[in-house]
Each structure stands twice: as structure tokens, then as C-alpha cells.
Amino acid sequence: MIREKHHKGWNEIKTNDSWAIFKIMGEFVYGFEKMSQIGPCVSIFGSARTNPENKYYKLAESIAKSIVEAGYGVITGGGPGIMEAGNKGAHLGGGTSVGLNIDLPFEQHDNPYIDPDKSLDFDYFFVRKVMFVKYSQGFVVMPGGFGTLDEFFEALTLIQTHKIGKFPIILVGTEFWKGLLDWIKSTLLDTFQNISPEDMDLIHLVDNEKEVIDILDAFYKESNLSPNF
């Protein structure tokens, strides 16, 4: 009897998982249809906890403004902190400002600087992450926490393994990122040889908006690439 109840419960779980596929498919279709109409963008990542007085909030705003003035749009996670700064800079620069929103701790609401027709809501974290990777022409990574590191390393892994085309991954803030990059080089590369020397070339470290734009422009001029979509 116990086994029968357990078996029945397992079937119910499997059924629920099966029906979830349709919701997941719906999110992908919704995201693809909306994002395919937008045009080439650069994603800006960073902490949702960064307040407007923080120097990296102000720098993210300035970088985003420069990005849209250079002809790209800006995509963020749609929340507060660095995401808000990115959308604000894009908005002030008169460019495309996209927000991929999700309900997360420290990220419970979308910010007011997203274009009204470019604010997308997702339930599934992994669907949202696919949108970032598929529709971004570059990643600008500001100081952040686990989520920011997750996005950084996922993009790095996908490019390293040739699952997606190469695009610029730009870390902003030497004081924040240098320790991590030193560890990657000394431990992953030099000591254990878990990565190749050329993998380090996938990462750019900068401290101002001019360097960000120079890297984006040089990469796309040299590569003669068009948008992913």
C-alpha cells in the first residue's frame, strides 16, 4: 500500500513536470518574438544592491549612455542597482533600454528606465539567461555578487567551448576584478593547466567608459559581425 501511494505521488510529480514544458516553451516563444524585434544590444550586469551614490552605479550609467550613443542598445536584468543604472544611462542617451525582469531577492521590482515596450517578465531563470546570451553583442560586467559571477562564467564557458560565437566580455573595475583574474591565471592556468593560455584573451579588464566603447567598436569592426538575430 505504501509503495502504491509512493508510486502514485511520483506519477503526479512526473505529470506536473511534463505540463511545465508548455510554460517553458511559452516563455521561450515570448522572449524570442520580443527580443528579435529590438536590434543589437550590449548587456550590463552587476549587483542589485548598488545604491545610486556608489561610484559603480554612476560609472554603469555613464557606460550605458556611451553604449547607446555608439549605436547599440542596452539590456539589463531590469531590477535596481547596477541594472537600474544601465537602463537609466540608456534612457538618458535616447537609446534602446531593455529589461529582462524576474522576481528574485534584492530584485523584486523593475526599474522605471526601461522602455515600456521592452520590459519582459520571466518566471524561469534559465530562460532569462538564454535571452541575455542570444541577443547580446557584448557583456559589460560591473562589480556584483553570485548572480553576476554566474553570468560572467556562463558566457565565458559558452564561448570557450564554441557553443556560441565569440563576443567581448568586459569586466569593469580593476580593484574588484583583479584578484579573481590573478587567481584564474595563477591557479587555473599556471598551476593546474585547467584552461588554455588563449582563454585569458576572452576577458578584458577596464576602468572607464571610453575603454568599453573602444573594445566593442574594435571587436565588431575587425570581426565584421552582424546581430545574432
pLDDT at 220: 87
Q: What are the structural domains, with CATH classification, of the chain?
A: 2-223 (3.40.50.450)
pTM over 0.75: yes
Q: Has residue 181 got a pLDDT over 80?
A: yes
| First-to-final CA distance of the chain | 55
Q: How confident is the model at residue 67 (pLDDT cuts 50, 70, 90)?
A: very high
Burial of 188 (0-12, 13-18, 19+ CB in 10 A): middle
Distance between CA atoms of 161 and 166, rounded to whole angstroms? Answer: 10
pLDDT at 229: 33
Q: Are 66 and 209 in contact (CB under 8 A)?
A: yes
Give the type of residue at 79. Answer: G
Q: Has residue 227 got a pLDDT over 70?
A: no
Q: What number is the average pLDDT over the span 36-50?
A: 94
The model's pLDDT over 78-120, given as tens digits with 9 standing for 90+, comes to 999 999 999 999 999 999 999 999 988 776 689 999 999 999 9
Helices 146-160, 125-134: axis angle to 10 degrees equals 50
CA-nearest of 126, 119, 128 to 99 is 119
| Residues of the chain by 3-state class (helix, strand, coil), percent to 5 | 55, 15, 30
CA-to-CA separations, 29 to 21, 41, 145, in angstroms, rounded: 12, 19, 30
Contacts of 108 (CB under 8 A, 6+ apart): 79
The model's pLDDT over 140-153, given as tens digits with 9 standing for 90+, comes to 999 999 999 999 99
CA torsion through residues 32, 45, 68, 80, sign? positive
